Chains A and B, each alone.
Chain A
Amino acid sequence: MKIPLNRILETIPPSGIRKFFEIVAERKDVISLSVGEPDFDAPWRVREAAIAALESGETHYTPNKGYFELRTEIVKYFSRKFGVNYSAEDEVLVGNGASEIFDIVVRSILNPGDEVILFMPSYVMYAPLVQLAAGVPIFVKQISEIQKKISPRTKAIILGYPSNPTGTTFQKSELQKIAKIAERNNLLVISDEIYAELTYEGRHTTFASLPKMKARTATVSGFSKTFAFTGLRLGYLLAPADLTAAANKIHQYSALCANSISQIAAIEALRNCDSEVEKMRLEYKMRRDFCVRELKKMGFQIQKPAGAFYLFLNVCKKTGLTGEEFALELLEKEEVAVVPGSAFGAEFSDFVRISFATSLQNLEIAFEKIEHFLKN
């Protein structure tokens, strides 16, 4: 029997990243610049806290919203780092990674046919999750395009900064423009700031810190990038109490609660890992500078990304190859893997995403190989 599937799901194409993963996975000895997660393991003190939690039998359900102790630490951390105060009581929700949080936020606000504004290129999960929530993503490339694309059905603007895949971030002045549009049109802003701590130029401005924005902002974040914690799946929402309660309603039925061990590890991360985070940030920054310098030497036009650990590179201008051709040939000839830009939208077929979440040693070899590839 052919199982009749959800109609929306059938319209969503499989992930371009997944397709490329299958090609790369077959090969040995590849230097991968295609990984969207830190190459560091979580700090030992965090892992040790998780081990201790398991040993002491913390293997039960936790409150739906997460342990109160963790929510309290999240609130303290966010205030200390980004200057916005939330109530641990009813404005924080802990979930299984920022992905789950994003999912339940869009499901909490969207009615079928509601529209959301989405910047392109952006992280691969935003558009599909909006569609699965029966919403309609409306794509923009620049802030100046937003107002024109707003309709009576527009419900929210989605931001993700620093950005995966481009590494670019918004300046405060740009965020202020978005804030004005949000206020004028009475829109919610869903702000995915999971890479906030990996900002290399200036300081990260959290959207909710702008005047009057806290009441209309859902900040989505998590532990994966900051604390090299991806596999422990832990994210959180900071939002007004009514939205937090709505998201928690879905969360309590679909996930019940986030992993108890991860939650306890996260408490340790928030309390005692500032220096480890800073060490990782400086290492990424050094790698970023190295990559940009090498690419410029090879004749590519590229700006230093302000955050995250990605470079989004137009390879077509210089090589005449599409991103996909470039990625496949580079893999074939030099065994270096980068992700074709088309994974982030058909319009980005001239680009590749290079991740510098790998050691300087690997980067040095990889860039020598890229240089060799260009010469032939």
Chain B
Amino acid sequence: MKQKLLALLKKDPRVSAKSLAKILGSTEKKVEAEIQKLLQSGEIVGFATVLNSNGKDEITAMVEVKVTTQRGRGFDEVAERIAKFPEVVNLFLISGSHDLNILVRGKSLAEVANFINRKVAVLENVNGTTTHFLLKKYKEDGLIFGEKMGDKRLKVSA
């Protein structure tokens, strides 16, 4: 049940417990309990909605951050500190020429630039940042922007 439930929620977090129960051949109560359990264990972190922000007043930047690691703590301390800022949408530790990759979102170029300069670049153990402003989104979390849905089939066929 767990794997199927996770797959269904990943596809559409809005599905009601009632529908999930029907699809999985379970009861509403059991489905709700299972979701609670998954939330408590942290296996489900949260439910998000993907918005199409193309053409909206919103600025997104991908920032590459170089970090000096700390004895015993590695990248965690600085990463956890950056993650707490609400301006930070995604934060990943990655391999390659820099260490952290963060996605920052704000209302204006100035707001995003200020945030990076004043909050991220100045942190102890941060050695440098490279900022790329996002121009257009084509796909996010597996969802393609502007893709047309709809059934292209004949209504009845053999």
Contacts and interface: CB of A to CB of B under 8 A. Distances in A.
Interface in B42-81: none
B90 interface: no
Interface string B1-33: 000100000000000000100110100000000
Contact of A286 (B4, B19, B152, B155): B4
A203 to B, nearest CB: 22
B155 A24 contact: yes
B25 A21 contact: no
B40 interface: no
B151 A123 contact: no
Interface in A328-376: 337, 339, 343, 358, 360, 364
Given A286-B4, A364-B22, A25 B155 contact: yes
Contacts of B158: 15, 17, 36, 123-125, 164, 343
B143 interface: no
Contact of B157 (A34, A41, A294, A358): A34
A35 B23 contact: no
Given A289-B25, A290-B25, A293-B25, A364 B19 contact: yes
Interface residues of A, number: 29
B23 A339 contact: no
Nearest to A23: B156
B156 A35 contact: yes
B135 interface: no
Nearest to A344: B158
B149 to A, nearest CB: 10
A26 to B, nearest CB: 10
Contact of A35 (B4, B25, B154): B154
**Looking at chain B, what size class is its interface with the partner chain?**
10 to 19
A54 B104 CA distance: 41
Contact of B23 (A15, A20, A34, A360): A360
Contacts, number: 55
Most B C-beta atoms less than 10 A away, residue of A35, A164, A358: A35
Most A C-beta atoms less than 10 A away, residue of B23, B156, B157: B156
Contacts of A290: 22-23, 25
A17 B151 contact: no
B118 interface: no
B157 A35 contact: yes
A15 B22 CA distance: 36
B19 A35 contact: no
A39 B151 CA distance: 7
Given A34-B157, A35-B153, A364-B23, 12 more contacts: A20-B156, A21-B156, A25-B156, A32-B156, A35-B154, A35-B157, A37-B153, A41-B152, A124-B158, A290-B23, A294-B22, A358-B151
Which 5 pairs show the lowest CB-CB distances between chains A and B? A21-B156, A34-B156, A36-B157, A32-B155, A17-B158
Interface of A: 15, 17, 20-21, 24-25, 30, 32, 34-37, 39, 41, 123-125, 164, 286, 289-290, 293-294, 337, 339, 343, 358, 360, 364
